[in-house]
Chain A
């Protein structure tokens, strides 16, 4: 089944909120847009095969010499909201030909004409030089810079087009028209600028072509303002006699595609932020209610039940695993599995029935629903990520341009949101910080030697805490090093090292564990005394 269909089906099936579905990546629309890009590239003589050859050749060159200059570069310029994807082709300065032997004669001819146009334009538009020429290397080399844009997205093209918004604009428009004519060789070769803008346009022109070609006319009307003149094409060069170093081609439909994509990504991002905010608020709400039902200061409380629930939840590692073999984020399916495991365990242990307080049940329901929401948004996020990857892959496949190499790094550098900021991550963090911390877990209070609750707690001068039994054993063995940090602090420990605050906290929050520990310690002491007696007896016998 095609992804577009699968995607739509998933969006329909998963019972997602309406505004989520609305914000999802418009896969189908983007797919249509790719077709426009393909057409545009074909018109430019940069069909898939040609581009593939140019890019492959460039790669081979680079691999061989390491530093060879790329002959054709596909890149993005600008900021996350205002950017231009462009193709840069390097030219041989002597001949003015593309620096590549691997292109077909047909394409070469088209590119040559492109250069030719630029030179003619340069002759009539020396003024533009100051604005558009790139003198980065300090020599007299100049850029030929061809841009095509439309009125569809006026805001973004203003930066690249400002230079031509003057009395030159008509030449610029002529530039585009005749460039266009020369490109569409066979069936459109006889068309000139005037015929193109005339009302009886040839039906063979695609809508995007029409936009592009009609737009310059409006741009040349006197009442234009800078922001509305984002149309037309600009070809500039100088130093007649020298060939320019490179041509830049700004693809109109390409911008359209990526602006559509980025605006969708931005919308998703703000939706995600809103969701995160809502869920964080829910966590805080639960955290406000929980102490009331779980506080050991209340005679009737659900402290132990809640501890059990959270321990199971932590063991489940629903959204993240802390195990050695698969630590890190869980996939959506795995998270689903783990959440199910948690739910089943809670049921199997009859924990909900063990709640003494009515409110506990409500809080638990809230907690469970919250997890379902996290799961759902994780799923939604994933779906959109897949859609984005797929559409870029499709784009690359159909045009041979390398968007997957170029676009993600460009976009995610520009925006603060990478793929890494998942809802699950930030909500779970808040959950651990504010909600789980209400109920202390035993693991944080055990002695690192006997793994029982560290009661009574002795805090060594290095700061590490052990139970008094284990510490006494160490002292008897005359082991002076702290088992954790090896500082020589064991033998100096005495009654002053009892951490009374911690001791009280343990008594309050872990009354059962403390009782068990005391019993175990008592048993050990009795055994030790018995053994001592036994040994003495044996010794007596031997003597």
Chain B
């Protein structure tokens, strides 16, 4: 089936005018499926890490939100073991005027501002509340272990 104009336009702009610190490349065989990388924000425990995600645009997009999931392991109170993200704009606060680029920016912002009061990964959120310093240390450790930029990309 032919791709809606909206998806074509968005993809074009992601290529011609990429967001600094974010890449999103569609699969050739399925243009609704994107390989995504997000750089950890500076001055966050995720700084220096490059996180891989997958993004899928459902048939109803943009009337429903894209599906986004972390592929890289990450220690974050709002992201669970399966990489699922607890982010309002991906769920109830989705608006069809939002785009792939704006959603990925929100995801990047979430890394810079973890919210343990609205947890998805309960154990992580618990630790974050009880001993923030230790939790941040673990997040940094995980970033170094799992999100180090691969040499081919560097």
A joins B in a complex: yes
The residues of A with any CB-CB pair to B shorter than 8 Å are: 323-325, 448-452, 470, 473-474, 477, 481, 483-484, 486
Decide: B96 and A474 in contact? CB cutoff 8 A: yes
- In chain B, positions 65-99 with a C-beta closer than 8 Å to chain A are 95-98
The yes or no answer to B113 lying at the interface (CB within 8 A) is no
Most buried by B among A325, A449, A451: A451
Decide: B5 and A325 in contact? CB cutoff 8 A: no
Task: Tell me which of A324, A448, A481, A484 contacts B20 (CB under 8 A).
Answer: A324
Decide: A451 and B6 in contact? CB cutoff 8 A: yes
How far apart are the CA atoms of A477 and B95 in the complex, in Å? 12
Decide: A484 and B6 in contact? CB cutoff 8 A: no
Residues of A within 8 A of B95 (CB): 481, 483-484, 486
Contact with A along B1-31 (1 / 0, CB 8 A): 0001110011000001111100000000000
Q: Which residue of B lies closest to A325 (CB)?
A: B20
Decide: B96 and A325 in contact? CB cutoff 8 A: no
Residues of B within 8 A of A474 (CB): 63, 96
Q: Which residue of A lies closest to B19 (CB)?
A: A324
Q: With both chains docked as a complex, state the minimum distance between the C-beta of A326 and any C-beta of chain B, in angstroms.
A: 10
**Given A323-B17, A325-B18, A477-B63, 6 other A-B residues pairs in contact with their CB atoms under 8 A:** A325-B17, A449-B6, A450-B5, A450-B62, A451-B5, A451-B9
How far apart are the CA atoms of A452 and B96 in the complex, in Å? 14
- 16 CB contacts below 8 A, A to B, read A324-B17, A324-B20, A325-B18, A448-B97, A449-B6, A449-B63, A450-B4, A450-B62, A451-B9, A451-B10, A452-B5, A452-B6, A470-B96, A474-B63, A477-B63, A483-B96
Q: With both chains docked as a complex, state the minimum distance between the C-beta of B143 and any C-beta of chain A, in angstroms.
A: 24
Q: With both chains docked as a complex, state the minimum distance between the C-beta of A313 and any C-beta of chain B, in angstroms.
A: 16
Residues of B within 8 A of A324 (CB): 17-20
Q: Which 8 A-B pairs have the closest CB atoms?
A: A483-B97, A451-B6, A483-B95, A449-B96, A448-B97, A323-B17, A483-B96, A451-B9
How far apart are the CA atoms of A450 and B9 in the complex, in Å? 10
Q: With both chains docked as a complex, state the minimum distance between the C-beta of A162 and any C-beta of chain B, in angstroms.
A: 58
Please report whether the interface of chain B is mostly helix, strand, loop or mixed according to DSSP.
loop
Q: With both chains docked as a complex, state the minimum distance between the C-beta of A289 and any C-beta of chain B, in angstroms.
A: 32
Residues of A within 8 A of B4 (CB): 450
Q: Which residue of B lies closest to A450 (CB)?
A: B6
How far apart are the CA atoms of A473 and B64 in the complex, in Å? 11
How far apart are the CA atoms of A341 and B5 in the complex, in Å? 26
Residues of B within 8 A of A325 (CB): 17-18, 20
Q: Which residue of B lies closest to A517 (CB)?
A: B5
How far apart are the CA atoms of A470 and B16 in the complex, in Å? 27
Q: With both chains docked as a complex, state the minimum distance between the C-beta of A479 and any C-beta of chain B, in angstroms.
A: 8
Q: Which residue of A lies closest to B98 (CB)?
A: A483
Q: Which residue of A lies closest to B22 (CB)?
A: A324
Residues of B within 8 A of A452 (CB): 5-6
Q: Which residue of B lies closest to A448 (CB)?
A: B97
How far apart are the CA atoms of A486 and B97 in the complex, in Å? 10
Most buried by A among B5, B10, B18: B5
Most buried by A among B17, B20, B96, B98: B96
Residues of B within 8 A of A486 (CB): 95
How far apart are the CA atoms of A11 and B95 in the complex, in Å? 56
How far apart are the CA atoms of A450 and B60 in the complex, in Å? 11
Residues of A within 8 A of B96 (CB): 448-449, 470, 474, 483
Q: With both chains docked as a complex, state the minimum distance between the C-beta of A98 and any C-beta of chain B, in angstroms.
A: 47
Residues of B within 8 A of A473 (CB): 63
How far apart are the CA atoms of A474 and B97 in the complex, in Å? 12
Residues of A within 8 A of B63 (CB): 449, 473-474, 477
| Known A-B contacts A473-B63, A477-B63; A449 and B97 likewise in contact (beta carbons under 8 Å) | yes
Residues of A within 8 A of B16 (CB): 323
Task: Tell me which of B18, B62, B97 contacts A484 (CB under 8 A).
Answer: B97
Q: Which residue of B lies closest to A464 (CB)?
A: B97
Q: Which residue of A lies closest to B64 (CB)?
A: A477
Contact with A along B22-64 (1 / 0, CB 8 A): 0000000000000000000000000000000000000000110
How far apart are the CA atoms of A324 and B22 in the complex, in Å? 12
Q: Which residue of A lies closest to B4 (CB)?
A: A450
Q: With both chains docked as a complex, state the minimum distance between the C-beta of B83 and any C-beta of chain A, in angstroms.
A: 26
How far apart are the CA atoms of A137 and B17 in the complex, in Å? 59
Q: With both chains docked as a complex, state the minimum distance between the C-beta of B18 and any C-beta of chain A, in angstroms.
A: 7
Q: Which residue of A lies closest to B7 (CB)?
A: A451
